[in-house]
Amino acid sequence: MKISTKGRYGLTIMIELAKKHGEGPTSLKLIAQTNDLSEHYLEQLIAPLRNAGLVKSIRGAYGGYVLAKEPSEITCGDIIRVLEGPISPVEGIEEEEPVKRSLWIRIRDAVKDVLDTTTLEDLANYKEDKAPDSYMFYI
């Protein structure tokens, strides 16, 4: 299974909305500029996310998009399934011989587990670990 730009950029939109959750609507133009992405492409991705009930659009001069739920209630799996379809490493798992079918199912389940247990809140609050030898001194 390969996540296309639809899934990657859709996840980017959702992370940006999660970071700004509670601050009002965010425009796709701002998200596109911040992440050096095509605004036109993001417009194509936001429609299925809105139709799935993950985002709401706000009209007007200060309009844009907001999350339809709390960031802790939306998983990466929710987003990827909307934009990419079912999560599966190969098509036709049912037709595979039992040994290979078992492997594909284990891989699918591991990927699903990661996507379904990682929320937008987790990603919006992600901070890269600092090197263990970096210290902060205050005088």
Q: What is the pLDDT of residue 71?
A: 97
The predicted-structure confidence for 42-100, as pLDDT tens digits, reads as follows 999 999 999 999 999 999 888 999 999 999 999 999 999 999 999 888 887 878 888 99
Cα 4 to Cα 132: distance, rounded to the nearest angstrom: 35
- Tell me the mean pLDDT in the region 26-48: 96
The residue with tokens 């011989």 is 97
Which amino acid, one-letter code, is at 71?
P
The predicted-structure confidence for 110-124, as pLDDT tens digits, reads as follows 999 999 999 999 999
Q: What is the pLDDT of residue 129?
A: 58
Max Cα distance, the chain (Å): 67
Burial status of residue 42 (CB atoms within 10 A of its CB: 0-12, 13-18, 19 or more) = buried
Cα 44 to Cα 71: distance, rounded to the nearest angstrom: 22
How many other β-carbons are positioned within 10 Å of the β-carbon of residue 94?
7
